[in-house]
A and B are shown apart, each in its own frame.
Chain A
Amino acid sequence: MSGVPATGVAVTDKATRERLAAAVEFALAEAKQSGATAAEAGANISQGLAVTVRLGEVETVEHTRDKGLGLTVYFGQRTGSASTTDISPEALRDTVRAACAIAKHTAEDDCAGLADPARLATHFPDLGLHYPWHPDMSQAIELARAAETAARETDARITNSEGASLSTHEGLEVYGNTHGFLGSQASTRHSLSLSVIAQDQAGMQRDYWYSVARDPERLESPQTVGHEAARRTLRRLGSRQLSTRECPVLFEAPIASSLLSHFISAVRGSSLYRQASFLLDSLGKPLFADFVHLHEQPHLKGALGSAAFDGEGVATQARDLVRGGVLQGYVLDSYSARKLKMTTTGNAGGVHNLTLDPGPESLDLGQLLKRLHTGLLVTELIGFGVNIVTGDYSRGAAGFWVENGEIRYPVEEITIAGNLRQMFRQLLAAGSDVDTRGNLRCGSILIENMTVAGN
């Protein structure tokens, strides 16, 4: 079967699951037969539909269907990896051969190898990640159109659109290794997104909104997505530059999660053993104010970052990364853990629903603006000016100038700069307006002081 699934046919049925599991087991057996002392393989298959409507008319209808298998072989302490989009036995044999050929040339590495068998997952709870949805094309088009129409009807200044998209996705992943582990996870992910353009005599502004969920019933309505996209776009009209200054900065929830992402980059095992982090040797040290609680919730029902096992089969578990402002643990897979003479934290492939709890005061955005008093509310960040080795931070920003807790006017073409170590220490408040649309979950974040560059 190929490019196009008939409506309603799942990629996660029993036959597909067995086919993927058979491919994984075949690849592992081939690897052993080729002399590998150990091997691991992951296979996946997915399908989806994405429709885009722009200015009321259908623009694109895309049918997606992907599959693939990747494996790593170990010859003692030497490794090689290969992947393929063709999972026929012949192609799998070629793939195993390619991985083995690479392992002939890589160096011995004491830390290489599969995860500790004692750490592999044995329980596979239903995490509520799988809600197949097969809207027919006309229904998908109508949902996207409704979102865009809602935005366009909000205000005459919404003059143009980059389009509204509805997309559905269903996938199955199977992972196995030669310790005898074989696990699978079926999941779905559906989204409705919209980007519109507002115009006045001063020029054009664009902003967007989206809703994403495992369960289509939990998507925001097209009207909500449309109105929010319109509101966010309209409020940017008339943006101006600020003069250069120092002031407190409030990161609005949808972009505040980028600060968590930089934190994770700095406490990730691969950054630590390479000494490519500004947070080396920080375990047990206070990095934040004592109200800060940052923790992983891998088994949260229906969440976007939930998983029973990580990318090497290790059981995931809920844990604190930061408690009382103090760093409790790093983000490790088996390899980086061995490099650091520690044990894996079940984070091969990343963290799972990393959550910054609202502070004890549980302030909403309005209350955070009052706390900010006079300073910058940042609603958009652009560029890549973050150096994890030094912690130096400098990014393009847009948002609002706030005085006495009230938004005064929109601002753009400015940068905000500081050093992440100091920014973390100066984290004054975390809001209750938690954005749960991703794997990094937090409310708006208030930082005591940064440099704003403008005209």
Chain B
Amino acid sequence: MSDKMLTLARQSLLEPAGIGDRELARLIGNLLAGRVDYGDLYFQYSRHEAWSLEEGKVKSGSHNIEQGVGVRAVAGEKTGFAYSDDIVLPALLDAAAAARAIAQQGAEGRAPAVFRGASGLQLYQPVDPLASLADDAKVKLLERVEAEARARDPRVKQVMASLAGVHEVVLVVRSDGVIAGDVRPLVRLNVSVIVEAGGRREQGSHGGGGRFTYDYFLQQDRALEYAREAVRQALVNLDAVDAPAGTMPVVLGPGWPGILLHEAIGHGLEGDFNRKGTSAFAGRLGERVASEQCTVVDDGTIPDRRGSLNVDDEGTPTQKTVLIENGILKGYMQDTLNARLMGVAPTGNGRRESYAHLPMPRMTNTYMLAGKHDPGEIIASVDKGLYAVNFGGGQVDITSGKFVFSASEAYLIENGKITRPVKGATLIGNGPDVLTRVSMVGNDLQLDPGVGTCGKEGQSVPVGVGQPTLKIDALTVGGTQS
């Protein structure tokens, strides 16, 4: 790990509280009582800001500060957890006492004599995005976005835009003596428009972001491009006819439609569900779960991406994990607990929403590698089907394997040509077999623009997805035209 990250994290989280290695050792010793196998402390400080524009004005802004420490003790399959939003030693000792109550009591355990830095990555700059642009410039940026959207088309009736930034510093201290720090910037800009024509109203939205400063939105006029794209989508929807209902060939566009992978296979390959045998993919390592053209990875190491992390929330460096290789199921995503119980190595997927939540296996950036087909050739191969290029959210039942994702921009394909736009519709499929029906994979891999948030057991974390254009021979499309 870069010593820089660790030094910064110690400076912001430990020094103000007067906590040094001796105090950390005392806390860990306290936590390792009786039959506790291991434990950790997760220190976090974050500042979040959001500015939002509607009706041509930045009417509101907010600034939030969150800080605290999560304390965890693990004994076998049992986890005890407590947290404190006061970073002071007595409060942390109380939390440690509560967390370790999970295990049979006994003598205090031995704490590591020295803490050693984890070997993390440096995928993004340890910057504070909130300070990267003056407040009036943030307001001006949103006003420019608004003006650009309105200038595109007189049918634009409403423009809503928001700019958000997070400056987060975390420090993980583990009972095995590993200490890891990370400084995680995150920014996001979103534009949403409502257009109206002939009494019909439709919406469109677009946005982007990642682990850098607000400068990203100013470069190459990206913010204005988001506005143009939101207007384009909304105008397309003004002409949309009812979506078809039934099972048909579906071609998914590149980039954000990779939400397919996140829902259809990603969640089902998280270690906790597989250890417990509750996933439709449990016990299927080495089996064919996709066509030969499909190779899918989860990669937390892509520089500057929204889903990337230098170390995960348990201090494990992130990595590129092959989930499916040429159609064969190769691996699961693991945190420390589930890796230990399954007898495999952690994969850097232990994530948590905040100090007040327990870590669990979560995705980072999940995508399918490029194939050999030209996207035009893929569309030309479909007689009658759906071409879906933009999506809202998705969801999965990991036990039955059924998953959905909802298209917000889609077209009919008729005789190998894209014809009319259709209204949004939910697509539903079965995770363990949907990828076996992928018959063509494009050569146009794209990652999403940096807007994904994944929810699991009430915890939200930023993630990324991506894929090339791909064709699924049969998928159920939930329109109204039967």
By a CB distance below 8 angstroms, the chain B residues around A274 are 54, 158, 160, 194
A67 touching B65 in the complex, CB below 8 Å, given contacts A81-B60, A107-B57, A396-B395? no
Q: Are B101 and A137 in contact (CB under 8 A)?
A: yes
A98 to B94, CA, bound (A): 32
In the complex, A151 has a CB within 8 A of chain B: no
Task: Encode contact with B along A315-357: 1 for CB under 8 Å, 0 otherwise.
Answer: 0000000000000000000000000000000000000000000
Cα distance A455–B428 in the bound complex, in angstroms: 11
Instruction: Name the one of A106, A206, A383, A413 contacting B476, with C-beta atoms under 8 angstroms.
Output: A413
Contacting pair B426 A394 (CB below 8 A): yes
> Is A244 located at the chain interface by the 8 A CB criterion?
yes
A416 touching B478 by the CB < 8 A rule?
A: yes
Nearest B-chain residue to A6, judged by Cβ: B94
Residue B322 at the chain A interface, CB threshold 8 Å: no
A85 at the binding interface (Cβ < 8 Å): yes
Contact for B64 among A82, A206, A241, A394, CB less than 8 A: A82
Contact B79 A59 (CB under 8 A): yes
Is the pair A394, B402 in contact by a Cβ cutoff of 8 Å? no
Query: Which of the residues A3, A106, A418, A419 comes within 8 Å of B60, measured between beta carbons?
Result: A106
Kindly list chain B residues whose C-beta atoms are within 8 Å of the C-beta of A379: none
Question: Do B82 and A3 touch (CB < 8 A)?
Answer: yes
A389-B203, A415-B426 known; A57 and B400 CB under 8 Å?
A: no
> Which stretch (B110-118, B240-248, B299-307, B374-382) binds chain A?
B240-248
Closest to A60 in B: B79
Is A197 within 8 A of B194, CB to CB? no
The answer to whether A63 and B82 have CB atoms under 8 Å apart is yes
Residues of B within 8 A of A417 (CB): 243, 245, 425-426, 478-480
Q: A4-B98, A197-B399, A413-B430 are in contact. Are A453 and B136 (CB under 8 A)?
A: no
CB contacts (< 8 Å) of B219 on chain A: these are: none
A162 nearest in chain B by CB position: B278
Chain A contacts of B37 at CB under 8 A? none
For the complex of A and B, the 10 pairs showing the least CB-CB separation, nearest first, are: A415-B478, A2-B91, A3-B95, A383-B404, A396-B404, A107-B57, A4-B98, A206-B399, A385-B426, A385-B406
User: Chain A's nearest CB lies how many Å from the CB of B58?
Assistant: 5
Minimal beta-carbon separation of B415 from chain A (angstroms): 22
Q: Which residue of A lies closest to B59 (CB)?
A: A109
Residue in chain A with minimal CB distance to B88: A2
B407 CB to closest chain A CB (Å) equals 8
A135-162, CB under 8 A of B: which get 1 and which 0? 0010000000000000000000000101
Q: Which of B406-449 contact A (CB under 8 A)?
A: 406, 423-426, 428-430
Pair A112/B59 contact, Cβ less than 8 Å: yes
- Number of B residues whose C-beta is below 8 Å from A? 85
- The CA of A109 and the CA of B84, in the complex, are separated in Å by 39
Assuming the contacts A106-B58, A107-B57, A394-B424, asked whether A3 and B392 have C-beta atoms less than 8 A apart, the reply is: no
CB within 8 Å of B: which A63-97 residues: 63-67, 70, 79-86, 91, 94-95
| Alpha-carbon gap, A309 to B223, bound state (A) | 41
User: B61, A204: Cβ atoms under 8 Å?
Assistant: no
**B101 adjacent to A385 (CB under 8 Å):** no
CB-based nearest B residue for A50: B81
Q: Which residues of B contact A99 (CB under 8 A)?
A: 63
Q: Cβ of A54 and Cβ of B276 under 8 Å apart?
A: yes
Does A220 touch B at the CB level, under 8 Å?
Answer: no
- Which chain A residues lie closer than 8 Å to B203 at the CB level? 276, 387, 389
- Complex CA gap A99/B356 in Å reads 25
Could you give 18 example pairs across A and B, Cβ below 8 Å? Answer: A4-B94, A59-B79, A65-B84, A80-B60, A84-B65, A85-B65, A86-B67, A99-B63, A104-B135, A105-B58, A112-B59, A160-B277, A197-B278, A275-B157, A276-B203, A398-B402, A418-B480, A453-B247
A65-B83 contact in complex given A390-B201, A451-B245, C-beta closer than 8 Å: yes
Give the complex CA separation of A325 and B158 in angstroms: 30
- Interfacial chain B residues near A438, Cβ < 8 Å: none
Residue B221 CB within 8 A of the other chain: no
- B247 near A454 (CB under 8 angstroms)? yes
Given A102-B135, A205-B400, A398-B402, 6 more A-B residue pairs with CB atoms under 8 Å apart are A63-B95, A95-B63, A101-B63, A106-B59, A385-B426, A389-B201
Q: Is the CB of B85 within 8 A of A66?
A: yes
For the residues of B in contact with A, the DSSP-based class is strand
Contact yes or no, A455 B476, CB < 8 A: yes
A161 vs B215: C-alpha distance in the bound complex, in angstroms? 48
Assembly CA distance A80 to B58 (angstroms): 11
Judged by a CB distance under 8 angstroms, whether A61 is at the interface is yes
User: Which B residues touch A9, using CB under 8 A?
Assistant: none
By a CB distance below 8 angstroms, the chain A residues around B477 are 415, 453
Q: Which residues of B contact A82 (CB under 8 A)?
A: 62-65
Give B97-139 as 1s and 0s: 1 = Cβ < 8 Å from A's Cβ atoms: 1110110000000000000000000000000000000011011
Distance between B433 CB and nearest chain A CB, rounded to angstroms: 11
Query: Is B71 interfacial (CB 8 A cutoff)?
Result: yes
Q: Is the CB of B400 within 8 A of A62?
A: no
> Are B65 and A392 touching (Cβ within 8 A)?
no
List B contacts of A109 (CB < 8 A).
57, 59
Q: Verify if A203 is at the interface (C-beta below 8 Å from B).
A: yes
Selected contact of A85 from candidates B67, B426, B481, CB within 8 Å: B67
Assess whether A2 is in contact with B406, with CB atoms less than 8 Å apart.
no
**Closest chain A CB from B353 CB (angstroms):** 13
A106 to B60, CA, bound (A): 6
Q: Which of A205-255 contact B (CB under 8 A)?
A: 205-206, 236, 239, 241, 244-246
B482 contacts the other chain (CB 8 A): yes
Task: Give Cα A418–Cα B242 distance, bound, in whole angstroms.
Answer: 10
CB contacts under 8 Å to B, within A1-44, are: 1-4
Enumerate chain A residues within 8 angstroms of B97, measured Cβ to Cβ.
4
Which of B65, B201, B402, B404 meets A395, CB within 8 Å?
A: B404
The complex places the Cα of A397 from the Cα of B179 at a distance, in Å, of 46
